[in-house]
Amino acid sequence: MSSSPDWVVVEQTRRIMATRMSIHIAVPPGDEAHANATIARAMAWLESLSDRLTRFAADSELAQLNASSGTWYAVSGTLFTVVAESVTAARATGGLFDPALLPLLEAIGYDRDYDEIEHRETGKATGNASDVPFVAGRWRDIELDARRLRVLLPPGTRLDLGGIAKGWAADAALARFFARYENVLINAGGDMRTLGGAKPGEPWALAIGNPFATADPATSEYAAVLTMRHGGIATSGATGRWWYRNGERQHHLLDPRTSRPVPLWIDESDNARDPSRLIATATALAPSAAHAEVAAKVALLRGYPEALHQVEHAWEARHGAGPVRYGDESVALLLILGDGNIVCSAIIHEFLADVGGGGDLWLD
């Protein structure tokens, strides 16, 4: 990252929560040692979250909660907060974001760390997702006891908190460790939370990946670059994140209305389905990283052009009201379609000026 002669960008990167996480702080010369120590403490805390929130380790706190569905289970303040956030997000999106889809994910082969199934056949299933006893909206029946830090999952309900946990972790790390800093960027596997910039008076520059770059080496690695002083950004899609189950390609972005992976553009094999109508990736801008993570997934579920219509209508209908957590009224979208076209919310520049604290957007 660039920095002015009067400022230094201190940064560290680690693999946490099965993804690449990085933290960057712009500080005046002489403050590098303190910044590095602060980042190290934040990284250690993020690693402790991974142990609590992973669903792939039988002894993790989330796995123990899932195994205790049907009975009250005492949890840590961290897990309680993330579960409560996931329920809040589900309610705000009318259930399009649903944290209780784990049985379906396992039924289509996502029953182990993604590195073990990437672009591979996961084996013959005894059934398929439609055979799994599943009732959409079970998140509504999750009970939360904040006084005693207990969670009651309905019988048979199990949670996957992967996406929202990363966004929440970026938001929480910023508040927990970096209150004294004015220029911080936290990247939790693509879910980013920004504050300030790499130089005084200049917001952070954030690149949005081009999903077509891997297929064509001559294609630019980035589809767009934007600047933003504060807020969250997240990109979701399945162009590189898929596997096979019984010879059928699957991905992790499930539609709770159909119990099936949402139709997306992944590669040229999807061109027969009119790539100009299929989303390859959805990038969402929102007040927080967790909000952006949820909004990106909801955009994929709504599809193009409905996703743009929804956030534009909500933005115009705000009438000066403050943003609602996980609501559409404080979201802007950038969608990359299967035919290579990039389409943005009409209000994206208003978002950058208002919610983002100032910034700009450049398309490749």
Q: Which domains does the chain have, with CATH numbers?
A: 203-363 (3.10.520.10)
- The answer to whether residue 184 scores a pLDDT higher than 80 is yes
Position 226 pLDDT exceeds 50: yes
pLDDT of residue 124: 65
Q: Are 279 and 265 in contact (CB under 8 A)?
A: yes
| Average pLDDT for 176-184 | 96
Q: What is the mean pLDDT of the chain?
A: 91
**What's the pLDDT at 3?**
46
Q: Any idea what DSSP says for residue 219? A: S
What backbone torsions phi and psi does residue 61 show, to the nearest 5 degrees?
-65, -40
Quote the tokens at residue 354.
């208002």
- Nearest residue to 279 (alpha-carbon basis) of 322, 236, 319, 312: 236
320: left (phi over 0), alpha (psi -120 to 50) or beta: left
Exposed, middle or buried: residue 302 (CB in 10 Å: 0-12, 13-18, 19+)? buried
Please state which of the ranges 13-27, 125-139, 203-217, 262-276 shows the lowest mean pLDDT: 125-139
- Sign of the dihedral through C-alpha 170, 225, 294, 241: negative
H-helix or E-strand containing 240? none
Question: Above 60 in pLDDT, residue 128?
Answer: no
CA atoms within 13 A on the CB side of 156: 9
Q: Looking at residues 135-153, what average pLDDT do you find?
A: 94
The CA distance from 291 to 179, in Å, is 20
* 306-331 mean pLDDT: 87
Residue 187 is predicted with a pLDDT of: 96
Q: Which pLDDT score, from 0 to 100, does residue 115 have?
A: 85
Which is it for the CA torsion 206, 212, 214, 216, positive or negative? negative
231 in Cβ contact with 287 (< 8 Å): yes
**The pLDDT of residue 127 is above 60:** no
E strand map for the chain: 8-16, 19-27, 72-74, 143-145, 150-152, 184-188, 191-195, 204-209, 222-228, 230-237, 242-245, 248-251, 254-255, 260-261, 279-286, 332-337, 342-344, 361-363
**pLDDT, average across residues 34-40:** 98
Share of the chain above pLDDT 70, in %: 93
∠ CA 229-232-234, nearest 5°, is 130
More confident residue, 240 or 233: 233
What's the confidence (pLDDT) of residue 322?
64
The string of pLDDT tens digits covering residues 244-265 is: 998 899 999 999 999 999 999 9
What's the burial of 166, exposed, middle or buried (CB within 10 Å: 0-12/13-18/19+)?
Answer: buried
- Residue 361 vs residue 325, higher pLDDT: 361
Q: What is the distance between the alpha carbons of residues 114 and 251, in angstroms, rounded to a whole number?
A: 10
> Rg (Cα) of the chain, in Å, rounded?
20
Confidence at residue 2, expressed as pLDDT on a 0 to 100 scale: 45
